[in-house]
Amino acid sequence: MDQPIEITPENLVVKLAESPEERKRIYQFRYEVYIEEMGKNVEHDEKNKILKDDLDESGRVYYMEANGEIISTIRVNLFREGGFNDFIYQNCGIERLKKLNHCLSYTSKLMVTPRWRQSVVLGKLLNYIYSQARELGIKIDFCYCAPSLVAYYELLGYRRYKDNFIDPGVGYRIPMALLIEDVEYMRKTGSPFYRIARNLNNTQYEVDYFRKTFASDQYFVSSKVRNADYFWERFADHLHNQSLDLFKSMDRKQVDSFINRCTVISCKAGDSIIRTGDVGKEMFVILSGAAEVRKDINDKQVIVATFGKGQVFGEMAFLSNIKRTAEVVAINDLETLVLTQELFHTLLKQMPENCAQILLNLSSILCDRLRLSTELYLNTLGNQDET
C-alpha cells in the first residue's frame, strides 16, 4: 500500500475544477464543512450531501488537495461572464458601478477543512486567487461576511463601504470590497497582497471612481489604519464608564489592549443583527444606540428585553455554541463592539488576567439576567394562580 505523500507548501497546488466530477467533490466538501461542521441553515441537497447554488454555473471554482482529499476551496464569479445574481447586484451596490462592470468579481464559498486552518493553505490559496484576478483584469472584488470575520477580511485589504444587509440563508452580513490595485491602502493595512501588487503596474482610476461613488455612504477605514487619537475620540466615552459592565474593574490600559483587537460595526435602525436559529460564535457590546430582543411566543412576536449603551447581547451562543434563541433588532442606528470566540481564545494566551476579569464580568451579567428571568417567571405563575 502506498504511503501518504508528505505535504509541504511546495506541493500544495491550487486547481481549477473543470469536470463535473471535480465539482461534485467540491460540493460534497462544502456540505461537510458548512452543514455538518458549522451547522449552517442554508439550502442544500440533503440526499446527496452536496451544497451548491445558482452562482456555481457561471463561477470559477478552485480547490486544493492533500493526499487525494480536498482541503480548501473558493469560488470566483466575474460580472462580465454573467456571474452576479440580482441579490449580489443589489446588496453589494453593483448598480452604482456600471462603468466598471467589465472588471468586477465576487468571491464566495471560501472554506478550509478544520485540521488545515492553522497552516499555509489559506494564505497560498488567497495569494493565488489575487494573482489570478490581476491576470484577468479584475479591479474590484466583492464579498460579504459575518460580523465575526470583518477583522480578518480587513487584514487582507478589504474595506467596508455601504450598509449591511440580511442574507436569508445565513443572517446579518457586512459587504466588503477589495480594490485590487490600491497598493497604498494594502501597504497601510499590512495586506499580504501588497507583496504581489507592489511589483505590478497599478492604476488609480478605478480606486478613485469607487471612492467617489460611495463617498456619501458611511465609509469605513480599517482599524489598523486609524490612529489611536481618532479611535478614542470617537469611542472613549462609551468604553470607560461604569455603564459598560463587561469591562468593570479594568483600567484604561487593560481595556485598550483588549479593544484594539476587536471590531466595531455600525448598524442601521431596523437591522436584525441576530436572528432566531442562526449559528454564531460572537457576542456584541453596544457602544451607542439601543436594540430590542424579540421572541416568538404562542405564535406572536414579543419584545422580551431592551439593551442600551454598555450592555451585551449574543453571549449565550458565544459561550456555549448553541443556535441563537431570539432575534435582536436595532431600535435606532447603533455601534457595537464584536467579540469572537476565536479572538478570545487567542487573547486568553496573550492576556490571561484581562480575559479572566472579562469572564468574571460576563458571569455577573448572566447571573443578573437569570435572576430577572426567574422573577418574571414567578410573577407570571403568581398571576396565573390568582386567576
In angstroms, rounded to a whole number, what is the distance separating the alpha carbons of residues 284 and 271? 14
The answer on pLDDT for 310 being more than 70 is yes
Q: Are residues 291 and 185 in the same domain?
A: no
The answer on pLDDT for 250 being more than 90 is no
The answer on pLDDT for 231 being more than 70 is no
Whether residue 4 lies inside any domain: the answer is no
The answer on pLDDT for 227 being more than 50 is no
> Structurally, how many domains does the chain consist of?
2
Return the CA Rg of the chain: 23
Whether residue 222 lies inside any domain: the answer is no
The answer on pLDDT for 384 being more than 60 is no
230 compared with 89, residue with greater pLDDT = 89
Q: Are residues 62 and 132 in the same domain?
A: yes
Q: Are residues 299 and 203 in the same domain?
A: no
Q: Are residues 179 and 207 in the same domain?
A: yes
Q: How confident is the model at residue 254 (pLDDT cuts 50, 70, 90)?
A: confident
Among residues 213, 244, 274, the one where a domain terminates is 213
Q: How confident is the model at residue 136 (pLDDT cuts 50, 70, 90)?
A: very high
Q: Are residues 118 and 86 in the same domain?
A: yes
pLDDT at 233: 56
The three cell numbers of residue 143 are 464579498
Q: Full-prediction pTM beyond 0.75?
A: yes
Whether residue 219 lies inside any domain: the answer is no
Helix axes 252-259, 228-239, angle to 10 degrees: 110
Q: Please give the distance of CA 337 from its chain centroid, rounded to a whole number.
A: 13
pLDDT at 301: 85
Whether residue 89 lies inside any domain: the answer is yes
Q: Are residues 251 and 207 in the same domain?
A: no
Span 316-354, pLDDT tens digits? 888 887 888 889 999 999 988 898 888 888 888 888 988
Give the CATH number of the domain where residue 259 resides: 2.60.120.10
Give the CATH number of the domain where residue 182 resides: 3.40.630.30
The answer on pLDDT for 225 being more than 60 is no
Contacts of residue 101, defined as CB under 8 A and 6 or more positions apart, other chains included, come to 79, 80, 94
Domain limits for position 151? 9-213
In angstroms, rounded to a whole number, what is the distance separating the alpha carbons of residues 196 and 200? 7
pLDDT at 230: 47
Among residues 181, 213, 245, the one where a domain terminates is 213
Whether residue 3 lies inside any domain: the answer is no
Contacts of residue 262, defined as CB under 8 A and 6 or more positions apart, other chains included, come to 151, 337, 338, 339, 343
The answer on pLDDT for 226 being more than 80 is no
pLDDT at 228: 47
Q: Are residues 135 and 196 in the same domain?
A: yes
